[in-house]
Amino acid sequence: MSDTAVTDTAVTDPAVLPDHVADRRQEPAPPRAGGVLTGLLRTARPRQWVKNVLVVAAPAAAGELFSLHALGRLALVFVLFTACAAAVYLVNDARDADADRAHPVKRHRPVAAGQVPVPLAYAAGGVLAVLAPAAAARLCPPPVAVLLAAYLLMQLAYCVSLKHVLVVDLAVVATGFLMRAIAGGLALGIPLSRWFLITTGFGALFMVAAKRYSEAVQLAGKAGATRALLTEYTTGYLRFVWQLAASAAVLGYCLWALEEGGVPHASVLPWRQLSMVAFVLAVLRYAVFADRGTAGEPEDVVLRDRALALIGVVWLAMYGLAVANW
């Protein structure tokens, strides 16, 4: 789910790998069809860009989304976050090229497969890492530029070392989601509710921990290359984290909805309070996949489960009606 949640280094010590895996890391997988530009685009993880839609969360919650100024400013922030995330993916895959060749899935990544040369991946990532903050400093309000630079530095630090630090890796990935949501509010000068921040932060931690838990369950007892930290986490601990985070997110949302919806207004029905039902159902439904150990990328879970997608649409409709005071 992190945007760097899928980029952890695999265990690469040949001494702890089976012979067929240790041999595989010495030979790059055959490159897939397509040119270098296609490989660079694939390395930038287009499927992960949907996470940057979080920049509209605060403006949508405040009912200040539908204006040309707001949409233009948020589109710019979306593009800048996408560029920063792409820079991190490029640098990460260049650093992990040898390790990825020992992984049954990651060995097909363009850099590991030889489709994109390692120096080119470093160069492309470096260019984006310089251009994105520079553009933010020129085109965005100062708080947004500072937040974007902090996001980039944090993600690069994660790529280099923090992803090897127990617990910190979970916090960094969840914080990346929270920073996206904060950026949207800063871009339009919208005050951020403390309950909004609590709900977003713990909601992100819930999905990150659920994804880690699912990986640990699926890879338990299997030999071969995997995330280094999954050998240090226990499934019991990861289950505790996602359950704790889910509880905190639900509590934060309920307090937020009751606080914001407690003032009488012209709405036909108390849509904000009613939206709590849809939100809780969404968390409970997502928790089904977490408990089964099948909660992979959050966007995949939501889009592949029709019931969860329908609950999400209902929640959006309810909250939209609440914001519109209908």
- Over residues 87-123, the pLDDT tens digits come to 999 999 998 888 888 877 788 888 888 888 999 999 9
Rounded to whole angstroms, the Cα distance separating 276 from 198 reads 15
Taking 50 as the pLDDT cut, the residues of the chain under it are: 1-33, 223-226, 261-264
Helix (H, G, I), strand (E, B) or coil at 102: coil
Q: What is the pLDDT of residue 221?
A: 57
| Confidence at residue 215, expressed as pLDDT on a 0 to 100 scale | 85
Question: In this predicted structure, what is the pLDDT of residue 155?
Answer: 92
CATH number of 1-192: 1.10.357
**How far is CA 79 from each of CA 52, 55, 190, 285, rounded to the nearest angstrom?**
8, 10, 20, 31
pLDDT given for residue 302 in this prediction: 82
**What confidence tens digit (pLDDT) does each residue in 187-219 have?**
998 888 888 899 999 999 999 999 999 888 887
Residue 319, both tokens: 């909250």
Separation CA 109–CA 212 (nearest Å) = 21
Give dist(CA 208, CA 185) in Å, integer. 23
Q: Which residues pair with 227 in a beta bridge?
A: 10
Cα dihedral sign for 260, 261, 262, 267? Answer: positive
pLDDT of 6 reads: 40
**What are the domain boundaries of the chain?**
1-192, 200-326
